[in-house]
Structure 1
Amino acid sequence: MCAYAIIIIAVFWMTEALPMAATALFPIMLMPFLGVAPSKIICRNYMKDSNFLFVGGLIVAVAIEKWNLHRRIALRVLITVGGTPKWLMMGFMSVTAFLSMWISNTATTAMLIPIVHAVLLKLEEMMNERIGILADEEGTMIGRTTQAKITAPPPAMQLTTLNVYCRTMTAEEMAEVKKYRKMGVALRLGVCVAANIGGTATLTGTGPNIVIQGQMDE
């Protein structure tokens, strides 16, 4: 009988014929009906402290996402630490680790990566203005502004200015572009690593922490 109950629950769970929340309540009905265990023993497993702690963590995560608290904290920290690469790295990683203590690692990373991307786009725009590189709407570098030579752009490039011509960038300019790209990779990886670090700090940081705590209690 127990095997039949497990098969029925597994079928509904894997096929998602019913919502997960409804499928999770199947043991309360099936186990007593099939004579596997009385309902007072089955229902006891739904009222564990670790389960309610996990639900509480989900509520906190939804509240943070609802009111954009993660964005407020991240922008405040970025204003405080400044725009140099090392301080940007520290700011993003500290915010990610702090938020990951209370919500899941995946949710934290998903919320912070768009902010990282927006900051990188702004830094790229500032770099382009400084060294004169022009880019199209997709971010592809297509030319460099100059005052020494005025030519019409090729037909394929629909630019709003005529003081543009395409040429190979200098070694210094290429080095700055490579430095920017490396910083982008470092910031994105730093957010992922910081989410894992923060997830090990508290029980609500990630799901396995609560599962292990529940097993240790027993």
Structure 2
Amino acid sequence: MKKSFSLYRFATALVLLLSPLVVTANESDWAKFLNSPTETTHKTLLQDLKKCKNVTRCKEAPSSEAVVKLVKLVETKNSYAVDVAFLSRHLHLLDGGNLEDVNRALGRLAESDPTLLLSHLKKYRVSGRSFDSTLVMLPLETVDDVGAKRRTMQKRIDSLSTVSDQSLARERDNAILVLKRKLAKLQSENKGTQPDK
């Protein structure tokens, strides 16, 4: 009994000692990409991420600090960062506030670079609730401002309407439909509560 307990303690100590090495290596791939989002660092990180099945078994899931950096890169319309964000969502590596922050950043692309957004929605075959949440996740500053929510929705609709690439027509039309439904819902729920400015 004493011998097996000692072996257990040794094995536990070994796991605890080696665990930081695994985490550091994975964080390093994220750090390399986030510090220099190039084709090479993108490719390396994608290879690591594609090995993941879900967040509980994936040591490559980003830390909250990494997500903050990823969001900033997405907001600058960095195509490699957008791709990593979509793949991370697709592999269910994000949850809670991290998922919301990434969705919010991706949603802003509907206004700033609708073609980039639509091409990734198509590439990752985003559909259903995930498709909708990407489009309707609004900036935090609109939370208590119904007029700002309406204006943001309309701006996204207008921006998406400018995409003429026929290979993205299905995604564009579906995105516009989702946003129009959300806008109509906002208008019917909040009629007369806050005028648009």
TM-score of the superposed pair, with normalisation by structure 1: 0.29
Larger RCO of the pair (alpha carbons < 8 Å, separation 6+): 1
Q: Which has the higher helix share?
A: 2
TM-score of the superposed pair, with normalisation by structure 2: 0.32
Q: Which has the larger radius of gyration?
A: 1
